[in-house]
Structure 1
Amino acid sequence: MTITTLPDRAVVRVAGPDARGFLQGLLTSDIDTLTPDHPLYAGLLSPQGKALFDMMLFADGDDVLVDVAADRAEALMRRLTMYRLRKAVTIAPTDLVVIAAWDGEGEGHTRDPRLAALGARWIAESGPLADGYTEHRLEHGVPDSADIGEDQLLWLETGADLLNGVSFTKGCYVGQENTARMHHRDKVRRRLVPLHIEAATDTGAILDAAGRSAGTLRSRHGATGIAHLRLEAAGGTLSIGGVPATALRPAWLAGAIAAASAA
């Protein structure tokens, strides 16, 4: 049973009479559904549909608290300010922290909006610090902000559609056209996929059994990595710098891998 602050996350407050409408026109999730009991996972995209920022949103009265990677918080505030124009919105950093809890902890708090199996997640003024969150997240194959990067991957390639990170009914937002087209035409051919890697390796290039490029390793923690991978290659033999690797199939991703492998 573990509860911990996440020191690599920061909290930004978006406030003012126009705050929710402002975010509704920018982000991938439906802000109208945001309540204290229902946080959201969302992205701010480029016009081409690539992920610029991934974030979690928490309601604080009419304000919205944005849980974002700490090293991206300042850039996110600049980007939001650029879009603000004449809207009655304030965007400011806070001293609040992000808390995660799992294995029976976090009772009475909201669940991680991406995946219930990740446990609870909420915003607080302070909290304890414990080890194990990265291992817990990777146990469920869920990528982090560092895996997603900035303006590198299309939002659906990050698994956002499988992790409650996009609404296909809310209407327009930045990058909506390409994101909706990919979804409705079933054109998501690459995704972030967890891998089991059998030994140490220095290269990020992933090859399939025929020696063709299958993807790129985005991060690694112990024997588990997150790769940007061709889904059709996920069911076969993979290697990274000559080291064998196997694509894992967490429950939330298994259907997408199976469908691509069968196509």
Structure 2
Amino acid sequence: MPTSGIDAKDAAAIQAAREGVAICDRSFWGRIRVSKDDRIRFLHNQSTNDFQSLKPGQGCDTVMVTSTARTIDLVTAYILDDAVLLLVSPNRCEFLMQWLDRYIFFADKVQLADVTNETATFSLIGPGSDAVVEKLGAGAIIGQPYGNHLSINEGLIVAVGSGLASMGYTLILPVSQKQQVWNQILELGALELSDRAWDTLRILQGRPAPDLELTDDYNPLEVGLWQTISFTKGCYIGQETIARLSTYKGVKQYLWGIRLNAPAEIGSAIALGDEKVGKLTSYTETADGYFGLGYIRSKAGGVGLKVKVGETEGEIVEVPFVSHEYPN
């Protein structure tokens, strides 16, 4: 949703996420538990990342794609001893439950369970989050790779990665502990980051969202989610299309940040002179001005390009969540 200005509380929380520590309640995001013996092989075949290389205590981001490699959702997966926990976007849980279920065949030992209502999810965001995690008793996770996680205090999972490009942690816990842990983190000095402030940070950092940047119109390479794709793991849904695009450098458009001179409408055409070269997919207003995300045709150019977004002038800038090069 577009934001109309930003209030003082949100501005302070965004500042805390950059310089101190903020906490965002993401409990309305979906959580799917995938269990039984074939769970790793199944998820390996249904999404872009390499699940078979992961061990319990590790995790990754992965993209659920259609057979033609169109994006459905950006999902974070945590490998537990006896299951895989998927953290999915707020409006995607029911759809993904049904979509995954279609690919479970008679002989497959795979069970899906929607555990959204039984659990809660928080994001700790900012350089001060290490100190909070230490005080929670999960100091052993500090400095570990993205997606690594450990379980403390009767089922509180603390995982590396805030869900944004900012440093931080994701907490998944039984709903019965939600209020107590939330209060404890606020007492440790974290500022509450509202859903609206999260969305502002999401846009500023370029995290794609379903129905906006993740739709049937775009594939993961266009989005810039290279870090979620294994190019060596072999066959999975959408793999042929992604391999072909990568091999032949066939990516026709890329997701970029756009610094704007004035407000703009989501869905506005992005133009270079008289030629339409893209579309605005997200928009926010911040204390520093106006900002959007949009897809721009590869041939038009990238960082520094001056464009018109509707009637507004804009400049293309990098956003840290996505990249447009094959990672080394």
TM-score interval, normalised by the smaller of the two chains: 0.7 to 0.9
Q: Select which of 19, 44, 60 maps to 2:64.
A: 44
Distance in structure 1 (CA, Å) of the matches to 2:49 and 2:101:
19
C-alpha spacing 1:113/1:45, structure 2 compared with 1 (3 Å): farther
The answer for the alignment partner of 2:277 in structure 1 is 214
C-alpha spacing 1:83/1:155, structure 2 compared with 1 (3 Å): same
Q: Select which of 293, 301, 315 maps to 1:233.
A: 301
Distance in structure 1 (CA, Å) of the matches to 2:322 and 2:215:
22
In the alignment, is residue 248 of structure 1 matched against residue 268 of structure 2?
no
Give deviations 1:183-238, integer Å, cap 9, x for gaps.
12222231221111221233623333322111111111212211122233334211
The answer for the alignment partner of 1:123 in structure 2 is 172
Q: Is the 8 A contact 2:206 2:320 kept in 1?
A: no
SS class of match (1:21): helix
The answer for the alignment partner of 1:92 in structure 2 is 113
* Distance apart, 1:38 and its partner CA: 2.8
In the alignment, is residue 193 of structure 1 matched against residue 256 of structure 2?
yes
Distance in structure 1 (CA, Å) of the matches to 2:323 and 2:229:
19
Q: Is the 8 A contact 1:13 1:63 kept in 2?
A: yes
In the alignment, is residue 5 of structure 1 matched against residue 25 of structure 2?
yes
Distance in structure 2 (CA, Å) of the matches to 1:100 and 1:84:
31
C-alpha spacing 1:144/1:112, structure 2 compared with 1 (3 Å): farther
SS class of match (1:25): helix
* Distance apart, 1:172 and its partner CA: 0.8
Q: Is the 8 A contact 2:270 2:296 kept in 1?
A: no
SS class of match (1:145): coil
Instruction: Give the partner amino acid of 2:122.
Output: I
Q: What is the total number of aligned residue pairs between the two structures? A: 254
* Distance apart, 1:113 and its partner CA: 8.5
Where in structure 2 are there 5+ consecutive unaligned residues?
Answer: 1-20, 134-140, 142-157, 183-191
Tell which structure's C-alpha radius of gyration is larger: 2
* Distance apart, 1:34 and its partner CA: 3.0
Instruction: Give the partner amino acid of 1:105.
Output: S
Percent of aligned pairs sharing the same letter: 22
SS class of match (1:200): coil
Give deviations 1:67-103, integer Å, cap 9, x for gaps.
1112110010001111001211111111223321121
Distance in structure 2 (CA, Å) of the matches to 1:203 and 1:18:
42
The answer for the alignment partner of 1:157 in structure 2 is 222
Matching of residues 96-175 of structure 1 within 5 Å: 96-103=119-126, 104-105=128-129, 107=133, 108=141, 109-112=158-161, 117-125=166-174, 126=178, 128=182, 130-131=193-194, 132-161=197-226, 164-175=227-238
Instruction: Give the partner amino acid of 1:42.
Output: T
The answer for the alignment partner of 2:5 in structure 1 is none
Give deviations 1:111-166, integer Å, cap 9, x for gaps.
228776343224222353632323333333332334333322112111111xx211
SS class of match (2:166): helix
The answer for the alignment partner of 2:150 in structure 1 is none
Q: Is the 8 A contact 1:29 1:41 kept in 2?
A: yes
Length-normalised TM-score, structure 2: 0.70
SS class of match (2:85): strand
Distance in structure 2 (CA, Å) of the matches to 1:141 and 1:79:
26
In the alignment, is residue 176 of structure 1 matched against residue 239 of structure 2?
yes
Instruction: Give the partner amino acid of 1:236.
Output: L
